[in-house]
Amino acid sequence: MIADAVVKTEIAVYKNIPPSAKTVYDLIKDRGPITAKDIQNGCKLAPRTVRYALKILLDAHLIQRLPNLRDMRQNIYRTIN
């Protein structure tokens, strides 16, 4: 029951985010943990658009930011589920 409620909430949030954020979310979901630079290269969006999409996704609790242990200057993003 709780899992169903969580899924319904995620679907509702996903429907209300901009198309660029949906593109970024789908890329993160498909490729797994990924850096912002790899997201920019993968979906051909401007860096500012990617940063804005990541902020929206982080605020909506659809993704999480982790430190990149190979390069601490970058973060890695992954879906929460």
How far is 41 from 12, CA to CA, in rounded Å? 28
Per-residue pLDDT tens, the chain, 81 aa: give them. Answer: 656 656 666 677 778 899 999 999 999 999 989 999 999 999 989 999 999 999 999 999 999 999 999 999 999 999 987
What pLDDT does 16 receive?
A: 85
pTM, entire model? 0.83
How far is 78 from 34, CA to CA, in rounded Å? 7
What pLDDT does 23 receive?
A: 95
Asked if CATH classification 3.90.1170.50 holds for the domain at 18-79, the reply, yes or no, is no
How far is 52 from 46, CA to CA, in rounded Å? 10
